[in-house]
Amino acid sequence: MKRASALASLLLFSGCQKSQSTLYPKGPAADKIAHLSWLMLILFLAITVLMWSLMMWAISRRRGSLAEHEPVEVGGGQGWIAWGGLAFPLSVLCVLFILGLKLMASFPVHDIHHHDLHPSIAIIGRQWWWEVQYLGAPAQRFTTANEIHIPVGQPVDIELRSLDVIHSFWVPTLHGKVDLIPDHPNFIRIQADQEGVYTGTCAEYCGAQHAHMRLVVVAQQPADYEAWVQGQLQPGSQPTAAAAKRGEQVFMAGPCSMCHQVRGTLAGGRVAPDLTHIASRMNIAANSYPNNDAYLEAWITHAQSLKPEAAMPNLTQFNGQQLRDLVAYLRQLQ
């Protein structure tokens, strides 16, 4: 719980508005994209200023009424129309197009055989959340959801897949959009140059709750990251408090365990987010709501109000005591 609130305050103080902006790149890939964006912005501003100046100049030189003007001769001395109206914009757009293509080619997005791609994380798009699988040696594998931790200053290769419709991975401060396509893995290399929490949103319309399909990337110092990995590798913690113990029974006997997994227990469902370390995450419902007692209770009983059409049903069968016990169990799954 302590770690989750520390992370949440980091998110607050890192400036929410900047944590999801292409204008504040925090990694090499986003840097390249931002450079091109600024180049385009400055170039287009310069051209706009030039065009307005020319127009003002023409207006200021105009004398008399329209009727007094001689008809404009087309053909003689009008070469500037071809240069200014065709050749100039065409060459500017061509240069930008080539720069854009070069930038895209520098990202090994579609190249499964790219020699130095070593995905250490697989992200699987689901309606409407992100399954996050940490790959590697069998003893190093674990699954989590919606919150991706990476070591700061190191490139991390990610394989992007989808189990249902097309989604799009977009953490603007770290990389451009890359789609998650069923039966067609894509790859992305992200690197965060500074410690921090970087937010993203699904960037491809994928159904009713597309806007509530958010993700968070937490870049940590290598030692903190390693500690997080070791924590995530552990099975779900055994409850010790009485309420949490009762809550575990409610969880295992009720419908929760059919869809959710808590490693080390009988709950082995794989269709919904892995809850083994749910208490360590900042938010719930694909980062749509804060992870606290009130929202957990609300989510369990009224998921269809908080996130209509999500796979999580409204579980109204629990009495108040059972609900509080259930939340107590979830909150100790650090």
Residues within the interface to ligand CUA (CB under 6 A):
125, 128, 167, 202, 204-206, 210, 213
CA–CA dist 256, 89 (Å, integer): 60
Question: Would you say 210 and 140 are in contact if contact means Cβ atoms under 8 Å apart?
Answer: no
Tell me which residue of 141, 330, 153, 175 sits closest to 132, measured CA to CA. Answer: 141
User: For strand 119-126 and strand 156-162, is the pairing parallel, antiparallel, or unpaired?
Assistant: parallel
Nearer to ligand CUA, 189 or 214 (CB): 214
Q: What is the DSSP string of 47-91?
A: HHHHHHHHHHHHHHH--S-GGGSPPPPSSSS-HHHHIIIIIHHHH
Nearer to ligand CUA, 157 or 204 (CB): 204
SS3 6: helix
Nearer to ligand CUA, 165 or 233 (CB): 165
Nearer to ligand CUA, 210 or 324 (CB): 210
Torsion angles phi and psi, residue 60, rounded to 5? -70, -25
SS3 107: coil
Nearer to ligand CUA, 174 or 213 (CB): 213
Q: Min. distance of Cβ 204 from ligand CUA in angstroms?
A: 5
CA–CA dist 201, 216 (Å, integer): 9
Q: Min. distance of Cβ 125 from ligand CUA in angstroms?
A: 6
Q: Min. distance of Cβ 144 from ligand CUA in angstroms?
A: 18
Tell me which residue of 249, 280, 278, 281 sits closest to 266, measured CA to CA. Answer: 249
Q: Min. distance of Cβ 170 from ligand CUA in angstroms?
A: 10
Nearer to ligand CUA, 149 or 212 (CB): 212
Q: Min. distance of Cβ 202 from ligand CUA in angstroms?
A: 3
Q: Which residues contact 39 (CB under 8 A, 6 or more apart)?
A: 96, 99
Q: Min. distance of Cβ 285 from ligand CUA in angstroms?
A: 13
Q: Min. distance of Cβ 168 from ligand CUA in angstroms?
A: 7
Torsion of CA 112, 115, 150, 37, to 10 degrees: -80
DSSP classification of residue 208: T
Nearer to ligand CUA, 175 or 246 (CB): 175
Residue with tokens 């719930």: 284
Q: Min. distance of Cβ 21 from ligand CUA in angstroms?
A: 19
Nearer to ligand CUA, 149 or 214 (CB): 214
